[in-house]
Amino acid sequence: MSVNVLFSARPALWPVYEPLLTQYLDEAGVDVRLGTDFEPDQVDYVIYAPNGGLLDFAPFTRLKAVLSLWAGVEKIADNETLTVPLARMVDHGLTQGMTEWVVGHVLRYHLRMDRHITVQDGVWAPDAIPLAQDRNVCILGLGALGEAAARALAALNFQVTGWSRTAKDIPGVTCLHSHEGLRQALSQAEIVALLLPDTPATENALNAETLALLPKGARIINPGRGPLIDDEALLDALNTGQVGHATLDVFRVEPLPADHPYWAHPNVTVTPHIASETRPVTAAQVICENIRRGEAGEPFVHLVDRTLGY
């Protein structure tokens, strides 16, 4: 019997993914039927994105797993009709893209590029830049994306401190956890990058209290999730100089409304959720590997802990 795989994502993606999924599953030796319209009780796997519109998994009585095309699973993790394994997207293309974006903006802040690009006032004012080994960068969140960014920055000799909700061990990175660990990590962070998941426990991770822990003038980079930051608290910290600048790629409401204060703030850089995207070629490989595993009786990879939400 062939394996039936339902593609439930933005319809425009189907012509992109269909040939890739067909190729990789054929190479893996999986006899499969792919489509966007199966009877629910005939579906073995769902390739899922929230914009596909699927909400009720109860009719999918044959379902073996739901395989997300998105790294973030906050829109599905608490779905009570989903009782089978849920795998999130951990894609080396997405990881590489995010690492490049984070490292690029850390270097931008470290090398004071904004000053040299935007201030051309005819004043010759040499200002020695510290070496990376003298600059402390904090990564909040040490999952696949956070760990990759932390390793890349450590390879450039930055002093990298990482914080996560559970204990981690990454060579070259000072890894902290617990509430006290968060306070310690922020208290010495000249540049902070947020790569935490969006869960009730991480909402407003940067708020008035935690922003006050930063060294005055610290820089913030958020390519993770919009709800990780208390927007009003960040604006207050920017206005007082407690935070020197923020580069924000994700927001609670997207697109960011035209009248949002971030657009006009002189110490905020807005980027339109471009830090990294799922690349169809590499994402299809990840999806197909999990289908192959499922059919071979092997454990799925990148499974979501539903109790934690990621």
- SS3 of the chain: helix, strand, coil, percent, to 5: 35, 20, 45
Say which residue the tokens 């207050």 belong to: 236
Active site residue 225: yes
User: What are phi and psi for residue 229, nearest 5 degrees?
Assistant: -120, 135
> CATH code for 3-91+278-296?
3.40.50.720
Asked if the model's pLDDT at residue 263 lies above 70, the reply is: yes
pLDDT band for position 120 (cuts 50, 70, 90): low
Hey, what are 213's tokens? 């822990």
Round to whole Å and give the CA distance between 62 and 221. Answer: 43
The domain 92-270 is placed in CATH, from the list 3.40.50.720, 1.10.260.40, 3.20.20.80, 3.40.190.10, at 3.40.50.720
Note the pTM of the prediction, 2 decimals.
Answer: 0.89
Active site residue 302: no
For the stretch 150-159, pLDDT in tens is 999 999 999 9
* CA neighbor of 310 nearest in space, from 141, 81, 186: 141
Say which residue the tokens 């401190």 belong to: 161
Number of residues in the chain: 310
Catalytic residue among 108, 165, 225, 245: 225
pLDDT band for position 2 (cuts 50, 70, 90): confident
Say which residue the tokens 């073996």 belong to: 64
For the stretch 180-212, pLDDT in tens is 999 999 999 999 999 999 999 999 999 999 999
* CA neighbor of 19 nearest in space, from 291, 277, 280, 292: 280
Every domain range in the chain assigned CATH 3.40.50.720: 3-91+278-296, 92-270
For the stretch 81-113, pLDDT in tens is 999 999 999 999 999 999 999 999 999 999 999
**For the chain, what is the largest distance between any 2 Cα atoms, rounded to a whole number of angstroms?**
75
Catalytic residue among 177, 265, 273, 293: 273
Residue 131 exposed, middle or buried by CB count within 10 Å (0-12, 13-18, 19+): exposed
How far does CA 115 lie from the centroid of its chain?
28
Asked if the model's pLDDT at residue 126 lies above 90, the reply is: no
Angle at the Cα of 59 (from 58 to 65), degrees rounded to 5? Answer: 70
Which DSSP symbol is given to 143? S
Neighbouring CB atoms inside 10 A of 307's CB total 6
